[in-house]
Structure 1
Amino acid sequence: MILPWTIFVFGASLVGMHDVAVIEDPAAAEVSLDPIRTRLLAELVEPGSATMLASRVGLPRQKVNYHLRTLEQHGLIELVEERRKGNVTERLLRATAASYVISPAALAAVAPDPGRAPDRLSARWLLAVAARLVRDVGSLLTGAAQARQRVATFALDGEVRFASAADRAAFAAELAASVAGLVSRYHSESGRKHRLVVAVHPALDSLVEDR
């Protein structure tokens, strides 16, 4: 039985907090991986100040301020509002996104290359293709945000259960043939190039069921 499919047609948001942001800069990636800063990023889905965060994470305000400055310098959080309280100006900050993905571009020298050993039945090659997808879409989103434009994309996500390995192989063959037919029908040498990725892999919870 095929479970409900989720279809995504989306573009880069132009205002407010993004659902997902891609970290491409190696220094920003390093900063984001610090456990304390990761906790602060999670807390800053809603605007907060150093004083507010200090009580939540159990650290001195000065220490929290240090981490907030570092996150702000690398574009992971942003100033939302400044409030005057007596002689003190309270800065309310917010994460630039609700969640983050580190792009393979941050590890450019050792980033996976799908062209190195293409093998459509290899899980490692699938991983390399997925890494390129993260890198390319992240780069597109960054450029679109700077130009205040949207990125036209389409994604399909779902699950299917196969009765046997033979059925799975037949499904893959029919899927490949169907995609090839669609490409042949709509491809135009003068058109704008798009990257097409089709993947099938075991669901993680299926590994638990098999044990």
Structure 2
Amino acid sequence: MDASVALVTDARKARAALTPLRRQLLERLRVPGSASSLAAAMEMPRQKLGYHLRVLEEAGLVKLVEERQRRGFTERVLQACADSFVVDPGLMRGAERRAGAAQDRFASEHLVHTAGNAMRDVARMREAADREGKRLLTLTVETELTFATPTDFDTFTEALSAAVAALAQTYASAPRGRRYRLVAMAHPAANTRTEKGLSA
């Protein structure tokens, strides 16, 4: 089965996971480890790591998988509760959004909001599928394009919208079928200067 993903919807859990050191611990604890083994691997004091591991355990991000008797102490072996964690975007944004942004398909705020909702919804469904031992059937298509002018961008947008609308009509309904949500979005490539994505 694919690596597990857990959605973090609780602000306390998010705070516990967001420090650089704790993120590193969660990464390393994809496989079981203890404060002692982590201290040796990371060249850090065991007591310091022990504190951060307790915070992660109390937040429900790591779990106890084994206790080993060592000379003079009990070694607690922990493991992350998932291979990766997704923080609910709703924890990071205010309850109120700029009026009209949700209706503007060209607004970057709307793009971020839509992408965040997709990330949250898929993470939740992934958790449910993992619990049931089922596969979550999804699709991702990525590519890069080059537009010489804003007019080219507008022309492409209209053509893509028409193509998606036509396909949506073909697959609009099916007896006992499962509904899917399709999201198409475009943004300047990460290595492109910001002003290149601005309208002229």
TM class by smaller structure: 0.7 to 0.9
Q: Does 1:53 align with 2:38?
A: yes
Q: Does 1:161 align with 2:146?
A: yes
Q: Which amino acid aligns with 2:187?
A: H
TM-score (norm 2): 0.80
Q: Any idea what SS the aligned residue of 2:187 has?
A: coil
Q: Does 1:36 align with 2:21?
A: yes
Superposed CA deviations along residues 123-176 of structure 1, whole A, max 9, x for unmatched, are 111111111111211221222233332221111112111222222211111111
* In 2, Cα distance between equivalents of 1:209 and 1:107: 26
Offset at residue 97 of structure 1 (A): 4.1
Q: Which amino acid aligns with 1:199?
A: M
TM-score (norm 1): 0.76
Per the alignment, residue 195 of structure 1 pairs with: 181
Q: Which amino acid aligns with 1:132?
A: N
* In 1, Cα distance between equivalents of 2:98 and 2:75: 47
Offset at residue 185 of structure 1 (A): 0.8
* In 1, Cα distance between equivalents of 2:172 and 2:41: 54
Write the mapping of 1:61-140 to structure 2, written as runs, cut at 5 A: 61-106=46-91, 110=95, 117-140=102-125
* In 2, Cα distance between equivalents of 1:154 and 1:114: 31
How large is the Cα RMSD of the aligned pairs? 3.0
Query: For this pair of structures, how many residues does the alignment match?
Result: 195
Which gives a bigger RCO, structure 1 or 2 (Cα 8 Å, sep 6+)?
1
Q: Which amino acid aligns with 1:179?
A: V
Higher strand share: 1
* In 2, Cα distance between equivalents of 1:36 and 1:114: 38
Structure 1 stretches of 5 or more lacking a match?
1-11
Offset at residue 32 of structure 1 (A): 0.5
